[in-house]
Amino acid sequence: MAGEEDRRVLDPEHDAAALKALTHPLRIRLLGLLRQDGPATASELAARTGETSASTSYHLRVLAKYAFVAEAEHRDRRERRWRAVHRVTSWSNKAMDAAPESRAFVGFARRRQIEHLEASLVRHEGDLAAGRLGEEWLEPSNISDLLLRLTPESLTELRQALDRKVAELTARDADDPRAAQVVFLTAGLPLAPYDPAAGPEDDPAANTENDETDGDLS
């Protein structure tokens, strides 16, 4: 769990330009790679993203302008290395809902998180198949899909309880050599009651499947 010093809290009123800068698929991907795998050069990131070094270098400079990334310690003088300034970017949903631009950013960021989950699943399966992860990780790894009935207060309480437990366990395992990087993505998305009078075009869930599985997280 990131401490306050590792968290960038975006304010839509004061950080409008930073929000606009981050609403770019490559920039948010570069930031995610630096957070996940540590400092890298523009050339190294270009190789991972399929972009040119000129492109990744430009977008890294934009991220640096708005204090999302900064120069890291250089291994040599040939190419600049970059690091993420914070481990987490967060915001108030209520504050973000005040303007169309900030609402659009929240939707963009959430969809990028879903894409990140899919990419992480592919990497996880490849790591298991190649033996880069041991069999001890088979049972605890999971994706759960639950439908709960909760009040707004209970959903808030659930999120806070998860935050506390994540902070406790990451602190406990910080120096354990067996610990591995774990992608832990949670979602709590309230849905309005189904309206039988609504047409298929008004029901985005009409063509999706929902299989409830065992697990402790939504």
The predicted-structure confidence for 64-115, as pLDDT tens digits, reads as follows 999 999 999 876 667 899 999 999 999 999 999 999 999 999 999 999 999 9
Domains and CATH numbers, the chain: 1-113 (1.10.10.10), 144-194+204-218 (no CATH)
What is the predicted pLDDT for the residue at 79?
A: 82
pLDDT mean across residues, the chain = 89
Is the pLDDT score of 3 beyond 60? no
| Each residue's pLDDT tens digit, 177-213 | 999 999 999 999 999 998 888 766 666 565 554 433 3
Q: Which of 9-18, 72-81, 152-161 has the lowest mean pLDDT?
A: 72-81
Amino acid, single-letter form, for residue 82? W
